Amino acid sequence: MNIKYVWLNGLVLLAPQLAFSAEHVILVSVDGLRPEAIQQLGKEQLPAFFRFREQGAWTDNARTDFDYTRTLPNHASMMTARGVTGANGHGQSDNDMPELSTTLHNNTGKEAYVSSVFDVTHDHGLSTSLYASKSKFILYEQTYNEESGATDTTGADNGTDKIDYYLFRAPDRTANALITQYVEDMRKQHFNFSFLHITDTDGAGHGDRWRTPRYMDALIRVDGYLQKLFDLINSDVELSDTTIILVADHGGAGRSHGDETDYENYRIPFYVWASNPDGTAFALGGKELYELNQRTRMEPGTSRPDYNEVIQPIRNGDAANLALELLGLPAIPDASAMINAKQDLDIGL
């Protein structure tokens, strides 16, 4: 990461600046992913996961939202760089199938627009997509579609529909068909920003607990999906300059993940892998993210820091503004988008 100099009230401040901008960023959320399971299965059974760990920047000790370890609240955080509750929160505490009229803008009664990674990307003239393997992700399409999206006041008017393409597909309660379709679509559309949601591990955890052969089989299947993404990048010259961010919305214990005070629920992985324009991996050397961010992020051990801590742990909510930084775009402009607002999460580039 390079350093740029910023003048503020006569003082010179140092601010990190990425040495490159990616043409494409793929944000992958693996629902219910326990980092211990990655460690347990190892490189032989999870070669794609370990490609992140050996070639990218990663940690197995990131955090979910402080107040909630459920799916819709944490995915809203990944998109908006906000926690769930409080004056700065996005307010999406419910985890059920939304009503047709529900959006992030109106679900708390505040009637205040909730800006997102989709807004910034789209309003700067880049393309966006959301591929979901749970039907309740329609919430985000309803929030950022032509009817509910904000007016574009950045440069040329690119319209109010912030998600250019939305697809829900999970006929067998896996993301297999979804990822297959995404790879096919991506070869044609080359979306600048994609958000992929993978349900397999969550389904296995709820169905047969988070520490069972069924869960491990689901994780191996997810590794195959990730390999398809690597193969896509390696085989399409238009996608050679692509970065993948991989996070989770929660872990899991027993057959649930609703207890936000349980370490097995709030501890999650956060992985980043970046390719050169020639398709080869950047030489990040498998760097641990907390080692790279000793001044700006707190390694939490087994603790559960709240949002009042001056130095925060790495959270899944860091992903939104990291994705924008990788695309060479500014952070989400709303002052409520507090997580990684300075775009200072160092990934070693």
Domains by residue range for the chain, with CATH:
21-326 (3.40.720.10)
pLDDT at 284: 58
Other Cβ atoms less than 10 A from the Cβ of 25: the count is: 28
The model's pLDDT over 269-324, given as tens digits with 9 standing for 90+, comes to 999 999 865 555 555 568 999 999 999 999 999 999 999 999 999 999 999 999 99
**What mean pLDDT is predicted for residues 112-133?**
97
The model's pLDDT over 1-29, given as tens digits with 9 standing for 90+, comes to 333 333 333 333 344 455 567 999 999 99
Would strands 193-198 and 128-132 be described as parallel, antiparallel, or unpaired? Answer: parallel
Q: Is the pLDDT of residue 93 over 60?
A: yes
- Is residue 119 within 8 Å of residue 158, measured between CB atoms? no
Half-sphere exposure of 64 (CA within 13 A, CB side): 36
Q: Is the pLDDT of residue 194 over 90?
A: yes
**What mean pLDDT is predicted for residues 146-158?**
97
How far is Cα 80 from Cα 90, in angstroms, rounded to an integer?
A: 7
Angle formed by the axes of helices 47-55 and 213-235, to 10°? Answer: 60
pLDDT at 98: 96
How far is Cα 300 from Cα 62, in angstroms, rounded to an integer?
A: 8
pLDDT at 282: 56
Query: What's the chain's average pLDDT?
Result: 91
pLDDT at 287: 92
**What mean pLDDT is predicted for residues 100-107?**
94
pLDDT at 110: 74
The model's pLDDT over 205-256, given as tens digits with 9 standing for 90+, comes to 998 888 899 999 999 999 999 999 999 999 999 999 999 999 999 999 888 8
299 or 111, higher pLDDT: 299
- Is residue 180 within 8 Å of residue 144, measured between CB atoms? no
**What mean pLDDT is predicted for residues 97-108?**
94
Between the two ends of the chain, the Cα-to-Cα distance in Å is 4
